[in-house]
């Protein structure tokens, strides 16, 4: 999905024009992939744009920095304020969802694998962005391929760190799936259990029970947590447990969740129809409830929103 340029980007404490937000070609993170980032959405509500779970995303960003030995020069309040201000600074179309991308990176000045003598930079961009897997996917569901690539093992990488290095694994799985004619990939862990999508968490429904894997080697998803909270508020039974490939094939319903994906139904896995091959009833119910929350229509979850 092509980027729709905005007017300004926050870069190292200052707002600069979109096309002037530049780093050197020898920026350390470009070569060694040590950067921590987040993805947030801001939704148009009756009170204006509202960032969904801002504080939780910033906390996870700083935790990713800690795990990756990135000494972020900005505290949570500064980062939160900058994300609010980036929405105010830019001009977005009315009733448009906005995606926010903060990133903390190792900057220019030192080369080599050892990075602790290098400067640390940070940037925040925001742009208008629709449904990550397409509006049709939100309604009719997508086709998913279980990848030949396993999710990074906890023995080799930190799955709970949202860092650039983890996403080469995701890119390879996504490309494999798309080149095979599917929309998205589902990765298993090194033991053969379902881990997550290339950039999403995975849920299935069996006999009315909502099931999603634990975060043993996966990102601790804020959207996954949101869906669980919404489901429990609706009286839906939720289980967090390991899932096998064959259980995914037997699911009555399935869907992906994530900041970008929101709640996207899965209609097919490896050429096997999920349920009746359409968006399931519980998936639709959770979708509607989720959008009520993020658009500010559900007062029970009002504290999830930060208004710009």
Q: Would you tell me how many other CB atoms lie within 10 Å of the CB of residue 117?
A: 10
The question of whether 162 is a catalytic residue gets the answer: yes
Separation CA 272–CA 249 (nearest Å): 7
Q: What is the 8-class DSSP label of residue 76? A: H
Separation CA 52–CA 262 (nearest Å): 11
Q: What angle do CA 285, 147, 174 make, to 5 degrees?
A: 75
Dihedrals φ, ψ of 202, to 5°?
-120, 135
Any long-range contacts for 243-246 (C-beta under 8 Å, 24+ apart)?
243/193, 243/194, 243/202, 243/204, 243/211, 243/212, 243/213, 244/192, 244/193, 244/194, 245/146, 245/188, 245/192, 245/194
Separation CA 223–CA 60 (nearest Å): 13
Separation CA 5–CA 92 (nearest Å): 10
- By the 8 A CB rule, do 87 and 98 touch? yes
Query: Residues 162, 174, 232, 284: which is the catalytic one?
Result: 162
Separation CA 227–CA 286 (nearest Å): 7
> What residues are annotated to the active site?
162
């Amino acid at each position: 999905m092509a980027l729709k340029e905005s007017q300004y980007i926050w870069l190292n404490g200052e707002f600069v024009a979109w096309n002037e937000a530049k780093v050197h070609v020898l920026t350390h993170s470009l070569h060694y992939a040590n950067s921590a980032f987040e993805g947030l959405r801001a939704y148009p509500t009756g009170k204006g744009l509202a960032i969904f779970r801002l504080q939780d995303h910033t906390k996870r960003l700083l935790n990713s920095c800690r795990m990756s030995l990135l000494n972020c020069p900005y505290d949570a309040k500064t980062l939160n304020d900058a994300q609010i201000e980036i929405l105010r600074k830019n001009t977005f179309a009315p009733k448009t969802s906005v995606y926010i991308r903060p990133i903390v990176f190792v900057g220019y000045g030192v080369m080599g694998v050892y990075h602790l003598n290098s400067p640390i930079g940070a940037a925040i961009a925001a742009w208008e962005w629709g449904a990550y897997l397409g509006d049709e996917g939100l309604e009719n569901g997508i086709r998913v391929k279980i990848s030949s690539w396993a999710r990074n093992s906890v023995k080799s990488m930190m799955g709970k760190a949202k860092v650039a290095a983890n996403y080469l694994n995701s890119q390879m799985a996504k490309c494999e799936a798309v080149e095979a004619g599917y929309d998205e990939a589902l990765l298993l862990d090194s033991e053969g259990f379902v881990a997550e999508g290339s950039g999403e968490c995975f849920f299935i429904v069996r006999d009315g029970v909502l099931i999603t894997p634990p975060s043993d080697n996966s990102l601790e998803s804020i959207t996954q947590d949101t869906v669980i909270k919404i489901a429990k508020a609706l009286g839906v039974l939720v289980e967090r447990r390991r899932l096998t490939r064959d259980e995914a094939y037997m699911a009555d319903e399935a869907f992906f969740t994530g900041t970008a994906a929101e709640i996207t139904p899965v209609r097919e896995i490896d050429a096997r129809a999920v349920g009746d091959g359409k968006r399931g009833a519980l998936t639709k119910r959770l979708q509607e409830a989720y959008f009520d929350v993020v658009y500010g229509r559900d007062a029970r979850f009002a504290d999830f929103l930060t208004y710009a």
